[in-house]
Structure 1
Amino acid sequence: MKLPLPFAAAPRRPRLLVVDDQPINVQTLYQALSAEHQVFVATGGEQALKLAREKQPDLVLLDVVMPDIDGYEVCRRLKADSTTADIPVIFVTAHSDEHEEAQGLDAGAVDFIAKPINPRIVRARVKTHLTLKQQSDQLRQMAFVDGLTGVFNRRYFDERLQQEWLRAMRNGTPLTLMLIDIDAFKPFNDRYGHQAGDDCLRRVAHALAAGLQRPADLLARYGGEEFACVLPETEVQGALALAQRLSEQVKALAIEHADAPSDRRISVSIGVAGRPASRPGEECGGSIAELLVRTDRQLYRAKNAGRARVCAE
């Protein structure tokens, strides 16, 4: 599951994944849906699973009979993967008896459309399930967003870090973590008051979120005045350069802080550590708990060295 930041969300056409091994069926569905939707196409089960993980479509239109993996198994695998489990699946099939429909619903589908398709019916069904998914996503987002700052909360951070760690292991890609702490925040609260402290947290959160460059990068409020960034497919060296830019963006807010360690303005200390690239499936870089400990150690290095700086392992 991947949710956009509430204040960073940009309107886009809904994404559909059409899965069918027959070109005429693909063409018919594409013609019916491409005017209002971004349509991706897969002609087999394995390709469909790969595209679903990479493109994160809003809805999958899935044929049952395919040469490599049948649609029921594709649907089961989509629902078993935490990164694709929330994507609704509609079977588009010539099989319309009750047994086939029950098997599809048991696999996790939300609807069936019979072949040959009626374009108006397809568009209506797709619209209905996209609306339901949008409402469901909004409810999940409310549960995963920090009410004060508008960025993701600790609960969502924990889930996404677990997902990205497993993905990095599976694909052999690097994964880097940042922990970001607002320097001398307690003295700031004591001097300027908690309302000013809340405003400071919001402004820093927005500055950090605006500095992230890719949709896959995640910012969350880790706790108190501390934030965390999960950076998939990013080496430590690249994350270090990003951390420096984020630090400068926070300084550029020019939030007055008479008790600051330097410059009489709000600053942040950042710790960076990561899991290196590896062979797919290889266990390297320890565990998630060890990654958090290593990143936290770098954060304390930054704070003990005078704050308002970045340290990386």
Structure 2
Amino acid sequence: MKRVLVVEDSHMVTKVIRHVLGGSRLIQVDYAASMAAASALLDKQDYFCCLVDLGLPDAPSGEIVDLMLSKKLPCIVLTASFDEQRRGELLKKGVVDYVTKEGRYSYELALNTIHRLILNTQYKVLVVDDSAVQRRMLSQLFKLQLFNVYEAEDGVDAVKLILDNPDIRLLVTDYQMPRMDGFELVKNLRVKYEKSDLIIIGLSSEDDRSLSARFIKYGANDFLQKPFNHEEFFCRINHNVEFLELIERIKDAANRDELCACYSRSHFFRVAEQRINQAEDKNTPLSLAVLELEGFDLFNEQQGFNAGDEALKLLAGRLMKSFDRFFLARLGGCKFAVLMPGLDNQKACAYVEKVRQLLAASTVSLPEGQFSFGVAAGVSSRRVQNADQLLSSAISCLQRANDAGGDIVIGD
């Protein structure tokens, strides 16, 4: 969780903010009612960002903003009224956003902005422009919103950077550039990257109304005419990034087991093939564990399938927490597979054994009563050609564990 500082002197407004921000699982909030109190908190604690009232009893002219910016804190400003001149001054200073106190929606907007900042730290952005001044200006805007920024001066350099950094998810490109212009860059990138893999936004200061249509037809997600204002720029950026996140959530949901929320059997095979190839290319170990909940079929017969489903969901949740570093999938019934890149057989067996002991020592609370389940596991780290062979090897180890009486982990 990220720690956020809220500075607001109004008791009523603070109450509303507490209610709105209190529903977030991403942040932990400290409150101050004056600049002096905020300064004292800053001396004791590091903060991710701040939400501050522009007019405080001991800082009536926005001095709190200068304090926060001097601490290099991303700053979101709350103000009682909209003032175009003040807005311009604040944005020029480098605040993240400017929110008027116009009801609950305003505070929800502030919370969404905080969440956006947290998520932005995971994104790499590429700014492509042959003008060093324009690149610097765009880069500063992105850094203000905590994106990780790369720069390229034309399309040729941009393609090289993306090949070296395949996790770049957003590209903003000017139209007119030497060697490879914006149109050619978009066309080249769309050969490999779908719109849901890489967001591309075209830019131009030319007074040609066909540019936007041409950029979109070549494969850009969006287009912005220069010059643009602060809010317009980030509304477009956020809209496209949120589209990307929505697509990823849909894809992720499609790859999940409907009952247990861990990954599905079909997705396991796709990921396993990739991990096997990666381990082979890098000459690094890869282990696969197959875990089976013991006595689960008998539990279903005695307690009913509804109770079995509830127990399975709870146990799957514990497995996901225990194997959060790795890839967990439900193979079917009460069998689960865990891919563990980087672990040889001995280390993988030791890790699975710790999880087995934790599960064996815990109970599942259901309306029908308290229940516990043993776990048998097989772990294989053999060098194989495909996922079927690795799974078959791990299941053979699991069978040996069951033949030995179960409630044990056996490796290759």
Give the TM-score normalised by the residue count of structure 1: 0.73
Q: Does 1:222 align with 2:336?
A: no
User: Is 1:178 matched with 2:289?
Assistant: yes
Counterpart in the other structure of 1:89: 199
Indicate the larger mover: 168-177 or 241-250.
168-177
Q: 1:91 to 1:232 in 2, by over 3 A?
A: farther
1:61 corresponds in structure 2 to 171
Amino acid at match of 1:232: P
CA distance in 1, matches of 2:141, 2:284: 37
Equivalent position of 1:13 in the other structure: 119
- Say which of 142, 154, 164 aligns to 2:265: 154
Q: Structure 1 residue aligned with 2:143, among 30, 34, 43? A: 34
Deviations 1:106-152 (A, max 9, x none): 5x542234566654433121111122223222322332222222222
Tell me the CA shift for residue 66 of structure 1.
8.7
Matched, 1:142 2:142: no
Match of 2:337, SS state, is strand
- 2:352 counterpart of 1:243: yes
Q: Where does residue 77 of structure 1 map in the other structure?
A: 192
2:105 paired residue number: none
8 Å CA contact 1:302, 1:309 repeated in 2:
yes
Which residue pairs with 2:394 in the alignment?
295
C-alpha distance in 1 between matches for 2:388 and 2:275: 14
Equivalent in the alignment of 2:381: 274
**310, 320, 326: which one pairs with 1:199?**
310
Q: Distance in 2 between matches of 1:201 and 1:66?
A: 59
CA distance in 2, matches of 1:191, 1:138: 37
**2:236 match:** 125
Compared with structure 1, are the counterparts of its residues 301 and 151 closer, same or farther at alpha carbon in structure 2 (3 Å cutoff)? Answer: same
- Inter-partner Cα distance in structure 2 for 1:147 and 1:124: 34
TM-score by length of 2: 0.57
For the Cα contact (< 8 Å) 2:276–2:286, is it kept in 1?
yes
Distance change >3 Å, CA 27–CA 310, structure 1 → 2: farther
SS of 1:161's equivalent in the other structure is helix
Per-residue CA distance 1:30-50 (angstroms, 9 max, x = gap): 321233343242654344234
| Deviations 1:185-230 (CA, angstroms, capped at 9, x unpaired) | 111212232222112211211111111242xx21111111111112
Report if aligned partners of 1:251, 1:266 keep a CA contact under 8 Å in 2. yes
- The answer to whether the 8 Å contact 2:127/2:149 transfers is no
State the alpha-carbon separation in 2 of the partners of residues 307 and 154 from structure 1: 23
Matches within 5 A, 1:299-310: 299-310=398-409
Is contact 2:215-2:223 (8 Å) kept? no
Task: Out of 38-47 and 244-253, give the one that drifted further.
Answer: 38-47
Q: How many residues align?
A: 278
Which whole-Å CA distance do the structure 1 matches of 2:253 and 2:324 have between them? 24
Gaps of 5+ in 2: 1-24, 27-114, 366-370
Q: Take 2:203 and 2:284, find their aligned partners in 1: how far apart are those partners?
A: 37
Q: Does 1:52 align with 2:162?
A: no
Aligned partners of 2:315, 2:286: CA distance in 1, in Å? Answer: 24
* Partner amino acid, structure 1, of 2:126: V
Secondary structure in structure 2 of the residue aligned to 1:168: helix
> For the structure 1 residues 221 and 33, does the alpha-carbon distance in structure 2 shift closer, same or farther, using more than 3 Å as the test?
same
Q: CA deviation at 1:247?
A: 0.9
* Residue identity in the other structure for 2:389: E
- Note closer, same or farther for the CA distance 1:34–1:203 as it changes in structure 2 (3 Å cut): same
Distance 1:115 1:38, change over 3 A: same
Alignment partner, residue 282 of structure 1: none
Q: CA RMSD in A?
A: 3.4
Change (3 A) 1:174 1:143: same
**1:82: which partner in 2?**
none
Q: Which has the higher strand share?
A: 2
Closer, same or farther: CA 93–199 of 1 in aligned 2, 3 Å: same
Q: RCO (CA 8 Å, sep 6+): is it higher in 1 or 2?
A: 1
Partner SS state of residue 119, structure 2: coil
Inter-CA distance 144–31: structure 2 relative to 1 (3 Å threshold): same
Structure 1: unaligned runs, 5 residues or longer: 1-8, 80-84, 257-263, 277-284
In 2: Cα distance, 1:38 partner to 1:255 partner: 42
Judged with a 3 Å threshold, the aligned counterparts in structure 2 of structure 1 residues 141 and 187 are, in CA distance, closer, same or farther, namely same
CA–CA distance in structure 2, aligned partners of residues 140 and 212 of structure 1: 21
One-letter amino acid of the structure 1 residue matched with residue 375 of structure 2: V
1:286 aligned residue (380, 385, 404): 385
Query: 1:110 and 1:232 mapped to 2: Cα distance?
Result: 35
Q: Percent identity?
A: 22
Query: 2:30 — aligned with what?
Result: none
